[in-house]
Structures are given as C-alpha cells and as structure tokens.
A and B are shown apart, each in its own frame.
Chain A
Amino acid sequence: MRFRDLNLKSKQLIAFGLVLIVVLAAGGFIIHRMTILKESFDEVATNWLPRSVAIAELSRGISNYRTLALQHILTPNPFEKKSLEKLINLQIEQIQDYLDSYESLRDRAKERGLISTAEDSLYEMFDSDWDAYQSVFQEWFLLSQQIEIEGSKRQIPGEGADQLIAGEGAILHDNIRWILEGLVENINSDAMSAATKAEELHRTTRQVLAVLLAISFALSGIIALTMTRLIANPLKKLADATESVSQGNLELQLDVSGKDEIGSLAQSFDRMAKSLREARAKMEQQAERLRQQNSELESTLKQLHETQEELLLKGKMASLGKLVASVAHEINSPIGTVLGAADVSERALQKLKDSLHSKLSEKEIQSDEQLARSLKALNENAALTITASQRIAAIVKSLKSFSRLDEAEFQTVNIHEGIESALVLLGSKKLAGISVVRQFGKLPALGCYPGLLNQVFMNILSNAAEAISEIGTITLKTYHQNGELIVEISDTGVGIAKDRLKTLFDFGFSSDSSRVKMGTGLLTAYNIVQKHGGRIEVESEVGQGSSFSVILPLR
C-alpha cells in the first residue's frame, strides 16, 4: 500500500509520528549525555578530589608522625616525652582516618572502574613501605623505652633508636612521600583527563544537538509541505471545482487518484458532476420538447381562436340570417300589397286620364294648373311608388338569397346571379359615383355553396367600393379557362400597399362605418374560396387600383 492510499488519519499519524520520533530521540540523547556529564562532574567533585586530598593529608600526617618522633628523641624531659607519645598516638589515629577515607573513596571508584592500574600499584607500594616504616618506628620505640619483647631479634644490632628514625626511617619516609606525591599526581591527572573527556562530551553533545535540531526543523518543514501538498492542495482544487459547479460549469473533471479520503471525495465529486451534466441534458431535452409542445399548443390555440371566431360569426351569421329571412318574409306581403296597390293606382290614374282626355282637350287640361299639377304629381308618385316597391322587393329577394348563408347548401348555380344580388345589396348609396362595368363571359353552372360565395363577392365588392373615393369604376369580368372559373373584380381605387398585401387575408374587422358589414373580412372570403378548392389572387398598385381574382375549379 502506497503512502498516498492511506487515509488522512494514518498519513497525519505517520507524519507527526516521524517528527515526534526525531524529537524524542534528540531529547533522549541529550538527557543521556547530560546524565553522563553530570556523573563525570560528580565523580570529579566527590571522588577524585577528595581522594587526592586524602592522600595529601595522609602524606602530611605521616610527616607529622616523623616530626613528633624526632621531637620525642630530642627532648630529655620525660613528661614531654609522655605527652608526645599521646600526640603520636593521636597522629596514628588520624593517619588511620585518612587511610580509611581514601580506601572507601577508592572502593567506590573501583566499582565504576575509575581506578587506574597505576594508582592501585602506587598504593600497594605505599602500603608496603608504610608497613616497613611502622616496623622501624616500633623498633625505635621499643629501644627508646628499653622494652624487650621476648623472642624478638633486633635487626640492627648496637645502633641507637635515633639512628633508626634518622637512617632507615628517613629513607622509608622519603620513599613514602615520593610515592604519595606520585599518587596525588596520578589522581589529579586522571581527574583532569576525566574532566577533559567530560568537556569533550559536552562539546560533541552540543554539536549533535544542533544537528538533530536542524534535522527536526527540516523534517518538520518537509512534512508540513508534504501535508499541504497531499491535503491542502487537493482540498483547494475541490473547493474551486465546487465553486465552478455552483457557477454552472459542469464540464470539470478532477482526476485525483489516491485512495484516501480526499481521493474518494474527489471521485464522488466527479460522479456528482457527471450526474448533474446528465440531468441537465435531460432537462434541456425536456425543455426542448416542452417548447415544441408549447408552440404546437400556441398554434392550436390560435387555430381554436380562429375557429371560435368563425363559429361565433357563423352563429351570428346564422341568427342574423334567420333574422333577415324572417324580416324578408314579413316584409314580402306588405310589399306585395303595396306593389299591387301602386299598380292599381297607376291603372286607375290612366283611366282617369283617358276619361279626362275624352271630355276635355289637352290644351284645356294644361290650362288648369291645379289639374295639370295634380295629374303630374299622381303620375310621378305612382311611378315612384312602383319603383321604390320594386326596389324593396329586389332587396328582399337579395336578402333572402343572401340569407341562404346559414343553409350552406351545395347547389349548382349561375354565379352571375350571386354577383348581381351582391351589387343590389350594396345599394345605390355605396355605388354612388361608381360605374359598374360588366364583362360577363359564358359560364357553365358551378357546383358550389352559393350562400358562401355570395358572401365573398359581397366582401370584395364592398372593399372595391370603399377603395374608390369619389368617382371610379368597378369592372366585373367573368370567364373560364383550363377547367377554372375566374371572377375578376377590379376597381380604380386607392390601391393596396405592397406590405399590406401580405396581411390582407388576416383576421380583422374594419369598423369605419356605421353600417354592419356583411362578411367577416377577406379571411373568411379566403377560407370560403379555399373550401371550394379555389384561391384568391390580388394585384394592386397604389394610386391605380386593385384587382381581386376569385378562381374556382369547375368540377
């Protein structure tokens, strides 16, 4: 398992563990060294030096011993001799103490292996001489006190006690002094070298410590950098990536390998981004579908609106048609009566005129002004009544034929009839100033919905009449060719602008007059013509006039 793949806790533990180990090692090393140094210094203070001092004092004690003995020799006073003997005794005790002191210190040092062979040898040498030295003193004392120990043989026959001290004693004493000096020197030099070693140890300890500190600093630094790289950088990458995603950028891929927590987090992130991308794609697809549906719905809605309008109008038309039909029907009988009456009046008038003429001459009739005027008035009015009644009758007839809108029956008719009835319905007022030119060709009967077609003609004629401001001409041309029946309605009106031509057949009412328009605009006309399988073509020139052609197939 590579280091990269360990989890974060393990990584951190290992990293800090390393640092800890180094620090502990350094600490342990220092403590160990310090202990050794302390021991060394302690040694010097509590053993080397006291030992050296003990020997120095021993040497002095032994010299004192000798001095006292010499004093004992020199003094003739027995009391002084006695007191000196006491002092010598004390001195011997002191020497014992120094020896004890030295030996115990030495034994302690020996346990630590700090006694050199030289020191040991020197001490043994001293001891041997000290032994001999004391033999001499013993001998001297025995001699000086004239004590004889039974069986003892004197080594030095005939010589005085003093000679012992002065002679052999002196030699031994010098030896002892020399040995002890050597011993002191030895101890001191050993102590010195021990101290020097301790100092050296101290110096190297400082050096090693400095190196260890440097290592642990470096190691800590490296570890800190490594941890940054292994933890902080990936985290930053992750944070940036997350921020990027929140801004809407889903195309990121982190590609962080490694099996620790950071690695798995990054991988989860990638998976999440992928899911988001897919979700977004799906959403966009759905949005697109919704848009399509929406536009379909909109067009359907539009169609429905149109259909609704159509139906509404058809309804209106139907009821209107019914109204018209019933009104026409109602009017018909009184009109018949009026026409009849007018006709009778005319004939009666004629009879009156005839009878007058038989009785009176023309001149006489003319000279009676009242009579002449009355006759003229009667004549004119009768004619007027007839004309007006005929007109009414014609209008009613047209209305009736027009009200066949609601019937919408398929019939075979002559479309000229429809055109004529449309003209009639338009009325003289509308057609005032307009001359209507008929160029009717020979047309076969057309199978169609005459009610509807009449609406078309009505509409177009109405527009043509409107387009002409004061004086103009509406030309009606009908012919057939290539299996098609063509009705051309041209006017010399204001014309239609090119851009308006495009929206000509669009939905819209024009309500610029008080008169209700029959027909629902060119849109309905277009629809009706389309229903017949035909088309309407328009040509127009602004200022010149327009020409509407209704083209219908002949079945």
Chain B
Amino acid sequence: MAICLLIVRETRTAEVAIIAHPLVQEDSLDKKLLYNVYRGEVRSWDDGTKIKVWELGERGETRESFYDYIGIRPSRMKSLWMKQLLTGEGEPPAEAETQEEMIKNVMATPGSIGYVDKKLVGNGVKLLLLIDNKESKKPDK
C-alpha cells in the first residue's frame, strides 16, 4: 500500500486509450458519456446494444490516469456500483485482471468498452478516445 501511495504521488504521463468492440457503432465519445457509461447510468449504445463495461483490476498509472480523467476516485466509483447492486438497478463492470486481458475481453465481447495503455492498442479493438494526461501532479504540501 505504501508503494501504491508512492506511485500515486508520481507524475502521471500515461496515455490512456478508451477502446471498444469493433462492432460498436460509435466512433468517439466524450468525457461525460464515458463517465456515465462507467457509472452505469448509460447502459446501451445508440443502436440498442447493451454496453459491456470492463474495469481494469491492475492497479497502476493507466487506471489512475483513467479515473483522473473522468474526475472520480476509484473508491467513489465503487460506492456507486455498490448502491446499484444493493438497489438492484444494475451491476458493476466486470474486472479484467491485466491490460492484456482487458484487450482480449473487449475484442471478444460485443458492446464492450474498456481502457488500456495506448501502446497496447492493436487492430482488434476500436479506439474511441485518447486521453493525454500530460499534466503532472505536484506532490501536495
């Protein structure tokens, strides 16, 4: 945990790619939509296909950059998912343990959406959004 803490404190220069299943009709999406999708507010694509949301289990720069971008802490997101679970409104995203698994899952499952390091993006997935987190967070006093 202490190590995680250190990682959190360092500069985030990861470039995160929001990827989707190739058959997903959307070509791009904005931050707000991305957030609502992951929150569980938006459950299907424009064409009616159910959105399959994938969460990255691996703790790292990619994950942090993603949550930084959509403007919520992972823990908070978890609370939102828990509430949905408890009220029966919806279910939380499935978890891909690693980034490689994330790519495999997104490629395999129609309607999928996930996030990985840009470097790992290949032909099998559709790139919806590129997050460029060039800002470096200064350590707090």
Interface centre among A88, A89, A137, A152 (most CB of B within 10 A): A152
Q: Do residues B141 and A115 form an inter-chain contact, with CB atoms below 8 A?
A: yes
Q: How far is the CA of A121 from the CA of B7 in the complex (A)?
A: 12
> In the complex, which residues of chain B have a beta carbon less than 8 angstroms from the beta carbon of A96?
76, 79
> In the complex, which residues of chain B have a beta carbon less than 8 angstroms from the beta carbon of A141?
82, 85-86
> In the complex, which residues of chain B have a beta carbon less than 8 angstroms from the beta carbon of A175?
1
Q: Do residues A131 and B91 form an inter-chain contact, with CB atoms below 8 A?
A: no
Q: Which residue of B lies closest to A142 (CB)?
A: B85
> In the complex, which residues of chain A have a beta carbon less than 8 angstroms from the beta carbon of B8?
124, 128
Of B1, B4, B78, B105, the contact of A138 (CB 8 Å cutoff): B78
**With contacts A85-B86, A96-B79 known, what are 14 further pairs, Cβ within 8 A?**
A92-B86, A128-B8, A128-B75, A131-B75, A138-B78, A138-B92, A141-B82, A142-B85, A149-B91, A149-B92, A149-B93, A149-B94, A150-B94, A151-B54
Q: Nearest-CB distance from A175 to chain B (Å)? A: 8
> In the complex, which residues of chain B have a beta carbon less than 8 angstroms from the beta carbon of A129?
1
Instruction: Tell me the residues in window 125-148 of chain A with beta carbons closer than 8 Å to chain B beta carbons.
Output: 125, 127-131, 134-135, 137-138, 141-142, 147
The answer to the question of B73 belonging to the interface, with a C-beta cut-off of 8 Å to chain A, is: yes
Closest 4 CB pairs of A and B: A151-B94, A134-B78, A131-B75, A120-B140
> In the complex, which residues of chain B have a beta carbon less than 8 angstroms from the beta carbon of A121?
5
The answer to the question of A95 belonging to the interface, with a C-beta cut-off of 8 Å to chain B, is: yes
Q: Nearest-CB distance from B138 to chain A (Å)? A: 12
The answer to the question of A116 belonging to the interface, with a C-beta cut-off of 8 Å to chain B, is: yes
Q: Do residues B78 and A135 form an inter-chain contact, with CB atoms below 8 A?
A: yes
Instruction: Tell me the residues in window 217-273 of chain A with beta carbons closer than 8 Å to chain B beta carbons.
Output: none
Of B5, B73, B76, B78, the contact of A125 (CB 8 Å cutoff): B5
Q: How far is the CA of A225 from the CA of B115 in the complex (A)?
A: 85
**Given that A115-B141, A124-B5 are known contacts, is A131 also in contact with B74, CB under 8 Å in the complex?**
yes
The answer to the question of A157 belonging to the interface, with a C-beta cut-off of 8 Å to chain B, is: no
Q: How far is the CA of A95 from the CA of B105 in the complex (A)?
A: 33
> In the complex, which residues of chain A have a beta carbon less than 8 angstroms from the beta carbon of B87?
89
What would 25 A/B residue contacts be, using CB atoms closer than 8 Å?
A: A86-B86, A89-B83, A89-B86, A89-B87, A92-B82, A95-B79, A96-B76, A110-B140, A115-B140, A115-B141, A124-B8, A125-B2, A127-B73, A127-B75, A128-B5, A129-B1, A131-B78, A138-B85, A141-B82, A141-B86, A149-B91, A149-B93, A150-B52, A152-B94, A153-B97
Q: How far is the CA of A134 from the CA of B78 in the complex (A)?
A: 6
The answer to the question of B81 belonging to the interface, with a C-beta cut-off of 8 Å to chain A, is: yes
Summed over the interface, the residue pairs from A and B with CB atoms below 8 Å come to a total of 82
Q: How far is the CA of A89 from the CA of B83 in the complex (A)?
A: 6
Secondary structure type dominating chain A contacts: helix
Total interface residues on B, CB under 8 Å, equals: 32
Q: Do residues A151 and B109 form an inter-chain contact, with CB atoms below 8 A?
A: yes
Interface centre among A113, A130, A134, A150 (most CB of B within 10 A): A134
Q: How far is the CA of A391 from the CA of B54 in the complex (A)?
A: 197
> In the complex, which residues of chain A have a beta carbon less than 8 angstroms from the beta carbon of B9?
124
Q: Which residue of B lies closest to A131 (CB)?
A: B75
Total interface residues on A, CB under 8 Å, equals: 36
Contact with A along B55-94 (1 / 0, CB 8 A): 0000000000000000001111011011101110001111
Chain A residues in the interface with B (C-beta under 8 A): 85-86, 88-89, 92-93, 95-96, 99, 110, 113, 115-117, 120-121, 124-125, 127-131, 134-135, 137-138, 141-142, 147, 149-153, 175
Q: How far is the CA of A298 from the CA of B83 in the complex (A)?
A: 142
Q: Which residue of B lies closest to A150 (CB)?
A: B94
> In the complex, which residues of chain B have a beta carbon less than 8 angstroms from the beta carbon of A134?
75, 78-79, 82
Q: Nearest-CB distance from B88 to chain A (Å)? A: 9
Q: How far is the CA of A88 from the CA of B82 in the complex (A)?
A: 9
> In the complex, which residues of chain B have a beta carbon less than 8 angstroms from the beta carbon of A113?
141
> In the complex, which residues of chain B have a beta carbon less than 8 angstroms from the beta carbon of A135?
78
Q: How far is the CA of A142 from the CA of B141 in the complex (A)?
A: 40
Q: Do residues B82 and A138 form an inter-chain contact, with CB atoms below 8 A?
A: yes
Q: Nearest-CB distance from A134 to chain B (Å)? A: 4
Q: Do residues B141 and A138 form an inter-chain contact, with CB atoms below 8 A?
A: no
> In the complex, which residues of chain B have a beta carbon less than 8 angstroms from the beta carbon of A147?
85, 91
Q: Nearest-CB distance from B7 to chain A (Å)? A: 10
Q: Nearest-CB distance from A514 to chain B (Å)? A: 147
**Given that A96-B76, A125-B5 are known contacts, is A117 also in contact with B92, CB under 8 Å in the complex?**
no
Interface centre among A89, A115, A135 (most CB of B within 10 A): A135
Q: Nearest-CB distance from A27 to chain B (Å)? A: 34
Q: Nearest-CB distance from A44 to chain B (Å)? A: 19
> In the complex, which residues of chain A have a beta carbon less than 8 angstroms from the beta carbon of B78?
131, 134-135, 138
Of A116, A130, A151, the contact of B75 (CB 8 Å cutoff): A130
Q: Which residue of B lies closest to A88 (CB)?
A: B86
Q: Do residues B83 and A93 form an inter-chain contact, with CB atoms below 8 A?
A: yes
> In the complex, which residues of chain A have a beta carbon less than 8 angstroms from the beta carbon of B86?
85-86, 88-89, 92, 141
The answer to the question of B95 belonging to the interface, with a C-beta cut-off of 8 Å to chain A, is: yes
**Given that A113-B141, A115-B140 are known contacts, is A152 also in contact with B95, CB under 8 Å in the complex?**
yes
> In the complex, which residues of chain A have a beta carbon less than 8 angstroms from the beta carbon of B95?
151-153
Q: How far is the CA of A141 from the CA of B93 in the complex (A)?
A: 14
Q: How far is the CA of A315 from the CA of B140 in the complex (A)?
A: 143
Q: Do residues A116 and B141 form an inter-chain contact, with CB atoms below 8 A?
A: yes
Q: Do residues A117 and B140 form an inter-chain contact, with CB atoms below 8 A?
A: yes
Q: Which residue of A lies closest to B93 (CB)?
A: A149
Contact with A along B37-50 (1 / 0, CB 8 A): 00000000000000
Q: How far is the CA of A135 from the CA of B94 in the complex (A)?
A: 12
Of B74, B97, B141, the contact of A117 (CB 8 Å cutoff): B141
Q: Which residue of B lies closest to A154 (CB)?
A: B95
> In the complex, which residues of chain A have a beta carbon less than 8 angstroms from the beta carbon of B109?
150-151
Q: How far is the CA of A125 from the CA of B1 in the complex (A)?
A: 7
**Given that A85-B86, A141-B86, A142-B85 are known contacts, is A151 also in contact with B105, CB under 8 Å in the complex?**
yes
Q: Nearest-CB distance from B56 to chain A (Å)? A: 12
Q: Nearest-CB distance from B106 to chain A (Å)? A: 10
Instruction: Tell me the residues in window 117-140 of chain B with beta carbons closer than 8 Å to chain A beta carbons.
Output: 139-140
Interface centre among B8, B54, B75, B91 (most CB of A within 10 A): B75
> In the complex, which residues of chain A have a beta carbon less than 8 angstroms from the beta carbon of B83?
89, 92-93
